Amino acid sequence: MFLSELIPTKRAVVDVNRVCNARCQMCYYTYEDKRWTKSLDTVKKELILAKRRGNTSVDFTGGEPTIHPEMTEIIRFSESIGLHTCIITNGLATEKIKRIVEAGCREWLLSIHGYKEMQDKLFGVKGAWDKMQNTIEFLKSQRCFIRVNCTLTKYNYKDLPALAAYYVNYVNARIVNFINFNPHYQWGQVEQPEVFSKLNEVQIRVSEVAPYLKEALNILEVNNLWANVRYFPFCVIKGYEAHICNNPQVMFDPYEWDYNVYPKTEERYLAHGREFQRQINSCEDKCGQCGILNVCGGINRNYAKLHGYSELEPYDIKIEHPYHFKKDLEADIVIPSFKPSRNLQYLLMELAEKSIPPYNIILISKHQSAAMNRNYGLERSKSPYIIMCDDDICDLPYGWNRTLINVLKENREIMAVSARLMNPDGTPGRNTSNNYDLDSRLVPVDFIPTACCIFRKTALRFDERYIRAGWEDTDFFMQMKHALKGQIVICNDVKVVHLNEEKNTGGTQNTYNQMLFQEKWFKKKTSIEEIGELINKGQLEKAISLLKNELEKDQKNPELINLLGIIYMKMDRVDDAIECFYASAKMNPQNVDYLKNLIESSQLKGKYEYLVAYLKDMIIQNPDIPEYPYLLSECLTWQGRYDEALEQLEENEKRFPDHLETRALKTKLQNHDSNTDKLENTGQTNFMS
């Protein structure tokens, strides 16, 4: 295991105004008097500088950026110079938001701090929740990329699990940020009585919010939703450290801001994060003794002034690397290989040069079976994502593994991603889905090969019935689609060359594998299965026409006749159904379902001639089986012919004294007062197996 490499964020921030259409309880600008709006020219200049610093995206903040009078023009300009745009918004100005989306803004960071009426209260705006719902509906209809901010306060902390479920089920957010409300700006002037009293209204103590925060994180985690906790002490939610993004991490989070730092080197960005930390946080008392101070950054200085250090539990272990806990950036690279080769040697060298840590390489050459080798790798991998890479892959782009990981982190509906496999001559290569679209970033497909791909760790395994190599990978992703209902995509951001030597694709084993695959997934349905499916779907006319065709070929097929009976039952043609069930039961008395259908349809109609005839016939043909005379007596009972039933039971008891059901029904009938109602069908009919 290597330490992770830190990549400076390529996201800038532009603060466009200090005017707003809300009055949030926890607004950092509550105590700021000045209202201002930047001109279009000023914003354009900032965007050009952001682009020159090497950024690829920008977040617009305020105030409320959507009410900036020239926001649509700002978006158009930003997109035109190659800065992908995102707006942080309270979602109140839905109509304006529609125009901004039209101008090209595809990413939105929504402030959803409260659940239902609490959103109104926190925003100080009646109807804020409903307006946000409208905004979300619109953004979803436009397939925008939605992120969510939720500030942790005394008002909303108990609602965090409900909010998390809402982000998953309704908002369909890609990333959720829980932001700890720390007393910044004038909120830090706690010696002022007004500020002190308001702060006590808004701020929640970290130990109080912790249990609700953990529950919310659990909900997001099981739903594969990327969750961050910003500016929160690590030691208060031990076990959830991977989610925390404090000052030492913030400059490397691809969704956080570059704060104008230039050039983009790890050292500069780390130093900037540390400087933030030094200005804002306290590293005294328990934090001073903590082994992970350089990872956590300590507790907010103003918070410590108010609440002290009693909630903290410093770590004994000494850790320095800011991304030590970020296990979600880890994907083991499994390389199944039949034998060591020059290609393999080159690949290992390339991986060392182009992959971003942390990762393990699991190289397997254990079996002459690709499926077994792959499963061996899956058993050994401990990371949340698994990369599989064949030994004939080369020309990987730098950071290829992190790009693939981020596709899974940002898209919870995606289960697996393939790199775009290219031919050595630069043309798109063959892959299982025969897809050659190079334009979209992510291309949904039915299958991908395992030549260079990433997928979520699950309990699924490769089917080891496949011999040597070929089709086991297609089968694996087929299983994934069926069992997990997730999407599979090709990512065009990662283009790799697949030498595709097809060393194991010829020969009999491959024909066998292909047949196994076809048989497993596309086995031709029998006409009986097809008719059954049509009946289940309620397509009775189609079912009946197919059935009649089949009956013309085979009039003596009891299963077809039984199916015809089932169709008649669904059409309320019970008399016809009884005749069918009678016929199929006579043709195959071993099939208990036919007899069961005959009994049920006879009972439904109260028409027992066919059933009685059938049972009498069976008694003659099977004189040593006690169930038929017993069933006949039951049938007589249902008709209210108790004396005849009793006679039949006494006869049966003489011949089969150990048949318990006969004795039980006889006793029941003897105790029955014939003046009262009929005996009910007890549902105890004992079908023969």
Residue nearer to ligand SF4 on the CB measure, 122 or 496: 122
Nearest residue to 454 (alpha-carbon basis) of 404, 413, 410: 404
Residue nearer to ligand SF4 on the CB measure, 314 or 384: 314
Residue nearer to ligand SF4 on the CB measure, 309 or 638: 309
CB of 274 to ligand SF4, least distance (A): 13
Residue nearer to ligand SF4 on the CB measure, 110 or 583: 110
Report the DSSP beta bridge partners of residue 60.
14, 87
Q: Which amino acid is at 608?
A: Y
Residue nearer to ligand SF4 on the CB measure, 63 or 486: 63
CB of 445 to ligand SF4, least distance (A): 41
Q: Which amino acid is at 437?
A: D
CB of 156 to ligand SF4, least distance (A): 14
CB of 292 to ligand SF4, least distance (A): 6
Residue nearer to ligand SF4 on the CB measure, 63 or 188: 63
DSSP label of 141: H
CB of 230 to ligand SF4, least distance (A): 14
CB of 239 to ligand SF4, least distance (A): 13
The contacts of residue 102 (CB under 8 Å, 6+ apart) are 72
CA distance 460 to 481: 11
CB of 55 to ligand SF4, least distance (A): 23
CB of 29 to ligand SF4, least distance (A): 5
Q: Are strands 452-456 and 385-389 parallel, antiparallel or unpaired?
A: antiparallel
Q: Which amino acid is at 199?
A: L
User: Are 652 and 598 within 8 A, CB to CB?
Assistant: no
Residue nearer to ligand SF4 on the CB measure, 284 or 502: 284
Instruction: Look at the alpha carbons of 77, 82, 88, 90 in this order and tell me if their dihedral is positive or negative.
Output: positive
CA distance 396 to 385: 19
CB of 286 to ligand SF4, least distance (A): 5
Residue nearer to ligand SF4 on the CB measure, 188 or 233: 233
DSSP label of 230: E
CB of 43 to ligand SF4, least distance (A): 17
CA distance 265 to 515: 54
Q: Which amino acid is at 282?
A: S
Structure tokens at 191: 């010696």
CA distance 358 to 336: 20
Residue nearer to ligand SF4 on the CB measure, 24 or 393: 24
CB of 12 to ligand SF4, least distance (A): 19
The distance from CA 7 to its chain's CA centroid, rounded to whole angstroms, is 27
User: Are 254 and 11 within 8 A, CB to CB?
Assistant: yes
Grouping H, G, I as helix, E, B as strand and the rest as coil, residue 332 is strand
Report the DSSP beta bridge partners of residue 498.
393
Residue nearer to ligand SF4 on the CB measure, 232 or 476: 232
The contacts of residue 684 (CB under 8 Å, 6+ apart) are 661
Structure tokens at 408: 């899974």
CB of 103 to ligand SF4, least distance (A): 21
Residue appearing with tokens 């909120």 = 187
CB of 294 to ligand SF4, least distance (A): 9
User: Are 273 and 322 within 8 A, CB to CB?
Assistant: yes
Q: Which amino acid is at 100?
A: I
CA distance 515 to 647: 61
Residue nearer to ligand SF4 on the CB measure, 87 or 543: 87
Instruction: Look at the alpha carbons of 281, 242, 322, 407 in this order and tell me if their dihedral is positive or negative.
Output: negative
Residue nearer to ligand SF4 on the CB measure, 19 or 679: 19
Residue nearer to ligand SF4 on the CB measure, 64 or 661: 64
Residue nearer to ligand SF4 on the CB measure, 233 or 558: 233
Q: Are strands 442-445 and 361-364 parallel, antiparallel or unpaired?
A: unpaired
User: Are 503 and 526 within 8 A, CB to CB?
Assistant: no
Q: Which residues bind ligand SF4 (CB under 6 A)?
A: 20, 22-24, 27, 29, 62-64, 90, 233-235, 286-287, 290, 292-293, 296, 298-299, 312, 314-315
Residue nearer to ligand SF4 on the CB measure, 229 or 408: 229
The contacts of residue 376 (CB under 8 Å, 6+ apart) are 364, 366, 367
CB of 213 to ligand SF4, least distance (A): 15
Strands of the sheet with 11-15, listed across from one edge:
11-15, 57-61, 84-89, 107-111, 145-152, 175-180, 226-230, 244-245
Residue nearer to ligand SF4 on the CB measure, 21 or 189: 21
Instruction: Read off φ and ψ for residue 496, nearest 5 degrees.
Output: -130, 155
Could you count the other beta carbons within 10 Å of the beta carbon of residue 482?
A: 10
Nearest residue to 241 (alpha-carbon basis) of 283, 297, 203, 288: 297
Percent composition of the chain: helix, strand, coil (DSSP 3-state, to 5): 45, 15, 40
CB of 375 to ligand SF4, least distance (A): 39
The contacts of residue 319 (CB under 8 Å, 6+ apart) are 291, 292, 294, 295
CB of 207 to ligand SF4, least distance (A): 11
